């Protein structure tokens, strides 16, 4: 036990969940916010900004990358990260449909 039964759920449900899960940590929300303040790409000041060790941030970046939320390209000595809107859109549309399907509720 303790193993998530992913195979029991649809591809879509797993996809939505993995995007949301990637956003589900304050450090990763912070990273996304930092990526937005920089014009487009950021070449890693993140370590200086956030109160976490370099190894930890590298790990969080990897998770965001694995979930497809950010992309990184090597640019000489440094890495250049930016947000991939595809996944953001997918989750956004899911939330939109939740809002739309919502009917008056007495709860």
Partner DNA sequence: ACATCATATCGTAATATTGCAATCTGTAAA
Partner DNA sequence: TTTACAGATTGCAATATTACGATATGATGT
Residues that bind its own copies (CB under 8 A): 4-6, 8-10, 13-14, 16-18, 20-30, 32-33, 36, 39-41, 50-52, 71-73, 80-83, 85, 88-89, 91-92, 94-99, 101-107
Closest CB to DNA among residues 50, 90: 50
Rounded to whole angstroms, how far apart are CA atoms 65 and 69? 6
Rounded to whole angstroms, how far apart are CA atoms 106 and 97? 20
Closest distance of CB 5 from DNA, Å: 4
* Binding partner of residue 49 among its own copies, DNA, none, CB cut-off 5 to 8 Å per kind: none
Closest distance of CB 49 from DNA, Å: 11
Q: Kindly give the pairing relationship between strand 78-83 and strand 42-43.
A: antiparallel
Q: How far apart are the first and last CA of the chain?
A: 34
CB atoms within 10 A of CB 8: 8
* Binding partner of residue 23 among DNA, its own copies, none, CB cut-off 5 to 8 Å per kind: its own copies
Rounded to whole angstroms, how far apart are CA atoms 107 and 104? 9
* Binding partner of residue 64 among its own copies, DNA, none, CB cut-off 5 to 8 Å per kind: none
């Amino acid at each position: 036990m303790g193993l998530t039964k992913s195979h029991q759920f649809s591809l879509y449900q797993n996809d939505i969940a993995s995007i949301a899960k990637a956003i589900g940590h304050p450090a990763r929300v912070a990273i996304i916010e930092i990526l937005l303040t920089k014009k487009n790409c950021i070449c890693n000041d993140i370590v200086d900004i956030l109160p976490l060790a370099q190894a930890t941030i590298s790990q969080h970046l990897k998770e965001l990358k694995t979930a497809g939320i950010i992309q990184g390209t090597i640019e000489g000595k440094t890495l250049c990260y930016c947000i991939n809107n595809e996944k953001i859109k997918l989750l956004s549309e899911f939330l939109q449909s939740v809002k739309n399907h919502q009917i008056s509720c007495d709860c």
